[in-house]
Amino acid sequence: MLQDMIHPPEQQLPIEDICSPVSSQIFEFCEQELFPETLQNSDVSSCSNCCYEDNSYPTNLCSSFSSIPLDVGKLNINNINTPTNPTTNTNNNFSIIFDSQDENDNDIFASISFSPISTFSVLPLLEAQQDQFDLPSLQVQIPVADSANGISTYSPDPSVPLTEPPLQAVFEEDGLSSLPSYVRLDPSSPSCSVLDPTTCSILDPTMGSFLPGNLSTALSADVSGLFGGSILMGADLQPQELEFQGDNCGLYASTSLQRVYSSGEMQNINNDSTHLVNGGGGASLTSEISAFEESTYKVGRLSVEERKEKIHRYMKKRNERNFSKKIKYACRKTLADSRPRVRGRFAKNDELGEAVRPNCSNHEVEDEEEITVKDDEEMIDASDIYAHISGVNSFKCNYALQSQSWM
């Protein structure tokens, strides 16, 4: 599988599969940071009728990636995964990406780097650039997942399919949840782009829903779960993340699973998974899985039915989300960005000048009791605008300050 990921069938990364906002932003960032000339030539820079919707990235981006001047010799996976100093790897070109990120992005990196089983977290990016990489040489530096550490071993045979056919049907509606926790997933599954060696898209679209709130955790869990083999020893998985597991088709197993299975059972499961990975009988295993799950034992606090329900609910929610936020008109975005706002709402351009005036009036002569409700509203508006002008986001803070000054 690992080899599969390192040697995907298709050499070029189909960026159109990068459908999550996060991944798009990452690639956008890469494009801007690494290939400014490309960006300049893109339609995005043009204001008139330019359309850089997410799906429009592919052509430019693919060409951009094909021209990445990345020095493989400087790229050291081990360095990247060194928990002690993830940001000191300034010599390789990844530092361009990570060093220039803000704190949150550093958290991303930290979460990746410090995850004990996130060793391969950078691989998708490497894959995207494998035309320039000597990936076989890189593989040498890639630690082999160790089943003894709870990480299953991957088949070295790149030709071996991850699973037998297409569990794709499994993902349809109820079928999804029928996948037990330890089942490896068919890379062709749309819900499992995280495993897709073709798209190399580590960032599953679903991740986006978790990133804003707890990005590092989610990403860490994601990456860890991806490369950690069939079982994630996720002791800290939150219920929400448990639902996230559902999106990954039960790729992870929570602590509850650990409690249920003995180490020997876990090993057996691992073996089964490995067996499956090796293509040694996916169909039979699938039937085993079915029987396995239908045995109706509870997975920790969640019964199979409960888990199904959770997963189904999450999948439904996820599908309803709009990950395809597209900017049809870049000029409008530019305008919106430069447009004055009052508490997040667009404000009239002339409103600033007019409304600030009352704020500048001498309120000292006004008796506090004479201030009507209307006057209060005007003052609020004025303070709103004051907040906007002063660059202070907190209207309440300003209003409090203004109120004090008016007294």
Torsion angle, alpha carbons of 185, 186, 191, 196, to 10: 110
Q: Is 321 a residue that touches DNA (CB under 7 A)?
A: yes
For residues 298 and 339, which CB has a smaller minimum distance to DNA in the complex? 339
Binding-site residue total for DNA (CB under 7 A)? 44
- Restricting to residues 299-318, name those near DNA by CB under 7 A: 310, 313, 317
For residues 320 and 367, which CB has a smaller minimum distance to DNA in the complex? 320
Q: By the 8 A CB rule, do 294 and 286 touch? A: no
CB neighbourhood size of 26 (10 A): 19
Q: Is 391 a residue that touches DNA (CB under 7 A)?
A: no
Torsion angle, alpha carbons of 403, 404, 406, 407, to 10: 120
Q: Which residues on adjacent β-strands are paired with residue 253? A: 233
Amino acid at 37: E
For residues 242 and 269, which CB has a smaller minimum distance to DNA in the complex? 242
**Rounded to whole angstroms, how far apart are CA atoms 97 and 25?**
12
Q: Is 343 a residue that touches DNA (CB under 7 A)?
A: yes
| Alpha helices by DSSP H, 129-206 | 135-141, 174-177
Please state the closest distance from residue 210 (CB atom) to DNA, in A: 5
Q: Is 249 a residue that touches DNA (CB under 7 A)?
A: no
| Alpha helices by DSSP H, 323-372 | 330-338, 351-360
Q: Is 394 a residue that touches DNA (CB under 7 A)?
A: yes
Give me the 355-384 binding string for DNA, x by CB under 7 A, dash otherwise.
Answer: ------------------------------
Q: By the 8 A CB rule, do 52 and 58 touch? A: no
Output phi, psi for 28, to 5 deg.
Answer: -65, -40
Q: Is 103 a residue that touches DNA (CB under 7 A)?
A: no
Q: Is 353 a residue that touches DNA (CB under 7 A)?
A: no
Q: Is 393 a residue that touches DNA (CB under 7 A)?
A: yes
Please choose, out of 9-17, 65-73, 175-183, 207-215, the segment that lies near DNA by the rule CB under 7 A.
207-215
Q: Is 403 a residue that touches DNA (CB under 7 A)?
A: no
Q: By the 8 A CB rule, do 57 and 16 touch? A: yes
For residues 312 and 363, which CB has a smaller minimum distance to DNA in the complex? 312
Q: Which of 165, 326, 354, 400 binds DNA (CB under 7 A)?
A: 326
Q: Is 298 a residue that touches DNA (CB under 7 A)?
A: no
Q: Which run of H or E residues covers position 346?
A: strand 345-346
Please state the closest distance from residue 339 (CB atom) to DNA, in A: 6
For residues 320 and 368, which CB has a smaller minimum distance to DNA in the complex? 320
Q: Which of 238, 255, 278, 403 binds DNA (CB under 7 A)?
A: 238
- Restricting to residues 110-169, name those near DNA by CB under 7 A: none
Please choose, out of 29-37, 62-70, 227-235, 327-335, the segment that lies near DNA by the rule CB under 7 A.
327-335
Please state the closest distance from residue 191 (CB atom) to DNA, in A: 16
Q: Which of 55, 101, 168, 214 binds DNA (CB under 7 A)?
A: 214
Q: Is 259 a residue that touches DNA (CB under 7 A)?
A: no
Amino acid at 222: D
3 state SS of 237: coil
Please state the closest distance from residue 178 (CB atom) to DNA, in A: 20
Q: Report DSSP state, residue 299.
A: B
Torsion angle, alpha carbons of 87, 93, 97, 102, to 10: 30
CA distances from 16 to 24, 97, 202, 223 (A): 10, 21, 13, 21
Q: Is 331 a residue that touches DNA (CB under 7 A)?
A: yes
**Rounded to whole angstroms, how far apart are CA atoms 375 and 353?**
18
Q: Is 349 a residue that touches DNA (CB under 7 A)?
A: yes
| 384 alpha carbon, distance to own chain's centre | 35
User: Which residue has tokens 């089964």?
Assistant: 272
Q: For the purposes of burial, counting CB atoms within 10 Å of the CB of 320, is it exposed (0-12), middle (13-18) or buried (19 or more)?
A: exposed
For residues 87 and 238, which CB has a smaller minimum distance to DNA in the complex? 238
Amino acid at 46: S
Q: Is 337 a residue that touches DNA (CB under 7 A)?
A: yes
Residues lying near DNA in the complex (CB under 7 A): 47-49, 209-210, 212-214, 238-240, 243, 310, 313, 317, 320-322, 325-329, 331-333, 335-337, 339, 341, 343-351, 393-396
